[in-house]
């Protein structure tokens, strides 16, 4: 298990605080998280209330995909299809575009659904605070010159009173030449627990028990949880453990 103390993490904490404040504002405006047509109407209403000019977000770099891939082994988040969502960008809220996330290059992409043959635009990463695609929320941790692994976008798998469980999506690229030149991309995500100003990389479930030994015997089926490391259920079990720890009232400081 890797622990990294980050004095410079104040930047990321500020971003997280802004993100939480952002959600509070949305809640006070009767904002509903979800992807139904009614929810999207709330998004658009909120856009109008704060006076956004959504067309301004489309003034960025045009995306050029230089790596040929296959339908099932692509570089994008879940699917190549652009989907509904929202983004907090330059302190403004935008919900009119449709979104996709190029995991390999760590770029958030948008298109204008109202414009025929709309170009794909790359948003400036440093100006993004947070975004959502379908029901998946991502936070931009902000740049850190000392710890590159903590830079960029992290999916929020769990947000508790004092604990965050974050997932950094990574796509490993594999070059193939058996049918011309093309590339396959394989998911190799990293998982982190954040408490206070410390990040802890979680490679296996036992890392969590080692990190919180005081609570190890109180976790549901701790022996089974420690021994299980199957890829297909690792994330689900990890979320469950962190939820249990949060319910036990784990503090932000070291336990």
Name the residue among 107, 110, 104, 120 with its Cα closest to residue 67.
104
Number of domains in the chain: 2
Interval 171-225: pLDDT, tens = 999 888 887 888 899 999 999 998 877 889 999 888 988 888 888 777 655 445 5
Q: Report the pLDDT value the prediction gives residue 144, as an integer from 0 to 100.
A: 57
**Beta-sheet pairing, 85-89 with 92-94:** antiparallel
User: Could you tell me if 133 and 24 lie in one domain?
Assistant: yes
pLDDT of residue 50: 41
- 9 and 126 fall within a common domain: yes
- The answer to whether residues 100 and 226 belong to one domain is no
**Listed residue (154, 132, 140, 161) closest to 40, CA to CA:** 132
The pLDDT of residue 7 is above 70: no
Strand, helix or coil for residue 151: coil
Are residues 136 and 250 located together in one domain of the fold? no
Q: How far is the C-alpha of 192 from the C-alpha of 151, rounded, in Å?
A: 13
pLDDT reported for residue 206: 86
Q: Are residues 127 and 114 in the same domain?
A: yes
Q: What is the largest CA-CA distance in the chain?
A: 58
**Residue 219 belongs to domain spanning:** 205-255
Specify whether 99 is located in the same domain as 68. Answer: yes
User: Are 145 and 238 within one domain?
Assistant: no
Q: What share of the chain is helix, strand, coil (3-state, %, to 5)?
A: 30, 30, 35
Are 112 and 28 contained in the same domain? yes
Instruction: Tell me, yes or no, whether 122 and 191 share the same domain.
Output: yes
Based on the fold, state whether residues 142 and 62 are members of the same structural domain. yes
For residues 90 and 132, membership in a common domain is answered with: yes
Per-residue pLDDT at 78 exceeds 60: yes
Which of 51-55, 203-207, 218-222, 227-231 is the least confident region?
51-55
Q: How far apart are CA 190 and CA 180, in angstroms?
A: 31
Among 7-16, 32-41, 111-120, 231-240, the range with the most confident prediction by mean pLDDT is 111-120
Same domain assignment for residues 239 and 166: no
């Amino acid at each position: 298990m890797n622990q990294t103390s980050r004095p410079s993490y104040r930047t990321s904490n500020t971003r997280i605080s802004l993100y939480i404040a952002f959600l509070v504002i949305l809640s006070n405006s009767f904002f509903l998280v979800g992807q139904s047509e009614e929810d999207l109407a709330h998004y658009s209403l909120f856009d109008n209330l704060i006076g956004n000019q959504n067309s301004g977000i489309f003034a960025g770099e045009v995306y050029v995909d230089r790596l040929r891939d296959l339908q099932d082994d692509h570089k994008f988040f879940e699917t190549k299809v652009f989907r509904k969502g929202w983004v907090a960008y330059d302190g403004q809220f935008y919900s009119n575009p449709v979104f996709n996330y190029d995991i390999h290059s760590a770029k958030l992409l948008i298109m204008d659904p109202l414009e025929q043959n709309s170009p794909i635009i790359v948003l400036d990463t440093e100006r993004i605070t947070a975004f959502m695609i379908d029901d998946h929320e991502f936070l931009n941790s902000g740049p850190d010159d000392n710890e590159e692994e903590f830079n960029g976008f992290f999916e929020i798998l769990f947000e508790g009173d004092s604990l965050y469980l974050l997932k950094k999506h990574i796509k490993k690229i594999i070059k193939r030449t058996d049918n011309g030149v093309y590339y396959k991309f394989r998911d190799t995500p990293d998982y982190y627990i954040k408490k206070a100003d410390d990040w802890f990389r979680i490679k296996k479930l036992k890392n969590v028990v080692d990190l919180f030994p005081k609570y190890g015997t109180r976790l549901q089926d701790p022996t089974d949880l420690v021994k299980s490391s199957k890829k297909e259920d690792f994330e689900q079990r990890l979320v469950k453990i962190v939820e249990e720890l949060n319910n036990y009232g784990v503090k932000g400081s070291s336990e």
